[in-house]
Amino acid sequence: MLGKVTLVGAGPGDPGLLTLKGAEAIKSADVVLYDRLVGAGVLELIPDGAKRIDVGKRCGSHRVSQDEINRLLLDHALDEKNVVRLKGGDSFVFGRGGEELELLQKNGVPFEVVPGITSAVAVPAYAGIPVTHRGTSASVHIVTAHTRDGINPDIDFKAYAGIGGTLIFLMGAALLSHIVKGLMNGGMDIYTPCAVIEHGTTPAQKKILGTLNNIEKKAGRIESPAIIIVGGVCELSEKFDWYSKLPLHGKTIAVTRHENSSSGLSSILYSMGAEVIECPCIHTEDLVDGRTADQIKRELKECDTVAFTSANGVRTVMELLKKQGCDARVFGGVKIAAIGGSTAGALSEYGINADIVPGEYSGRVLGTAIVDSGAEKVLLLRAENANREIDEVFKRSGIGFTEITVYRTVPECEFNMTELINEGKIDYVTFTSGSTVEGFMQFHKNADLSSFKAVCIGGSTAEKAVGYGMECMTADHASLASMAEAIVCDAERGER
């Protein structure tokens, strides 16, 4: 049986601009061939077991030739593989998608095309430029400035100069001078509004506005990828700008926890316009087996309250119980306490509404709330190396407690940020537990801690960060959303 090739347009950079159909195709691929312009967020969707082939081009020199790409697609499809060919933007807009289909078609290999959002319209849209606008522009012309010799694009400037619509030039970063001169020599008004947009739809987006006669000077050295827009619609850019007004636009934030859900901190910050660097500083190891499940069930008979001090603790326990054929009813006879919003959120994923969730994220505050609720015997389900503040509160109040350790956190560093930090490129580093602070310090001993602000989920995490000398902000409530809010407030203060 033959495999199949699906050409998928990955969109212009923001992973949120990939289509649903494109995402489905990637998730079920055996082999994925991708280009340089495909965003990291889209590449993350490639299944672990799938083969990834980077056929991106670097610095004008083709790393993998077009013939080789065509051949790779054919060979994998003949090998019965489900192949996805991922390209930036849309595959048929200067994407050589047609060329890649020819060999497949000749060999009778089935193929499908999933259109993508082309940079030609998305990049202007993120810069507040509608490519058509009633009364200003009634047509759009997408032009490639790319040439084989890299010098003289074969563009009929005279025709474009008089066409009256919006002109969008792709692959023109190095040829801006040639383009503006060509249009002016072709008779276009030298004051026609223009825009150059680099890294469109990404946190690194940069917009330069001008007119035909001054855009070259204003733009200076242009970074690729960039598009050039010429036409009256560019004047609307200031009025309709929205992306650069997102509250965290221009900020770079490091997230030190593992993100395993789309509602994670990285996604929240990204949707607010921040550049997010994921740098997990800890990972967790389960410490549970069948005996732990029996022990938990036994202890539940003895206690009146169960306390969870992390979302990971909740998930570890609930998954263990599930494996043992149990469900949330195990907790039917006891009160449940959660240290904060994320832990309570994890409980609700398993159908449990926590009875006690203090507003402040701290073991001491949780302990006091449990004591105040009239508890007499508490079961603590937590990490081996968890903060033990809560124990002090119980000891002082004289109530009984038992702990069962269900996981441990282990420092790790997939990506070391020391250099970025020391270059002043990181504005904030987020910490969602004391152990993330410890993990971070273990691997960033030589980082200049004064060059960023630490954003902590609660008091005890903040104490750790301050202890190392970091300038620190603490979320009002123990939740990821509240951490994001704290950053927004701080960023706004900084701009005033």
List residues binding ligand SAH (CB under 6 A): 12-13, 37, 87-90, 93-95, 118-120, 123, 170-171, 197, 199-201, 225-227
CB of 98 to ligand SAH, least distance (A): 12
For ligand SAH, which is the closer residue by CB, 90 or 275? 90
Strand, helix or coil for residue 92: coil
Which residue of the set 57, 206, 377, 425 is catalytic? 57
CB of 92 to ligand SAH, least distance (A): 8
Check: CB of residue 385 under 8 Å from CB of residue 435: yes
For ligand SAH, which is the closer residue by CB, 60 or 325? 60
For ligand SAH, which is the closer residue by CB, 119 or 192? 119
For ligand SAH, which is the closer residue by CB, 241 or 259? 241
CB of 177 to ligand SAH, least distance (A): 16
Q: Which residue is nearest to ligand SAH (CB)?
A: 89
Residue 358 burial (C-beta neighbours within 10 Å; 0-12, 13-18, 19+): buried
The question of whether 239 is a catalytic residue gets the answer: no
For ligand SAH, which is the closer residue by CB, 197 or 399? 197
What residue type is assigned to position 117 of the chain?
I
Residue 336 CB neighbour total at 10 angstroms: 20
Which pair of tokens denotes residue 76? 């994998």
- The CA distance from 350 to 195, in Å, is 51
DSSP state of 222: P
**Dihedral angle sign, alpha carbons of residues 295, 298, 300, 304:** negative
CB of 86 to ligand SAH, least distance (A): 11
Check: CB of residue 249 under 8 Å from CB of residue 275: no
The stretches of 387-433 forming alpha helices (DSSP H) are 389-397, 418-422
CA-based nearest residue to 255, from 414, 361, 407, 363: 414
The question of whether 35 is a catalytic residue gets the answer: yes
CB of 57 to ligand SAH, least distance (A): 10
CB of 210 to ligand SAH, least distance (A): 17
Task: Give the Cα-Cα-Cα angle 358, 282, 313 (nearest 5 degrees).
Answer: 40
For ligand SAH, which is the closer residue by CB, 132 or 418? 132
- Describe the strand order of the beta sheet including 252-255 as a list of residue ranges: 275-278, 252-255, 428-431, 453-456, 471-474
Which residue of the set 21, 27, 30, 35 is catalytic? 35
Residue identified by tokens 């402040």 is 360
CB of 72 to ligand SAH, least distance (A): 19
Which pair of tokens denotes residue 436? 């993330």
> What DSSP string runs through 97-122?
HHHHHHHHHHTT--EEEE----HHHH
Q: Which residues are catalytic?
A: 35, 57
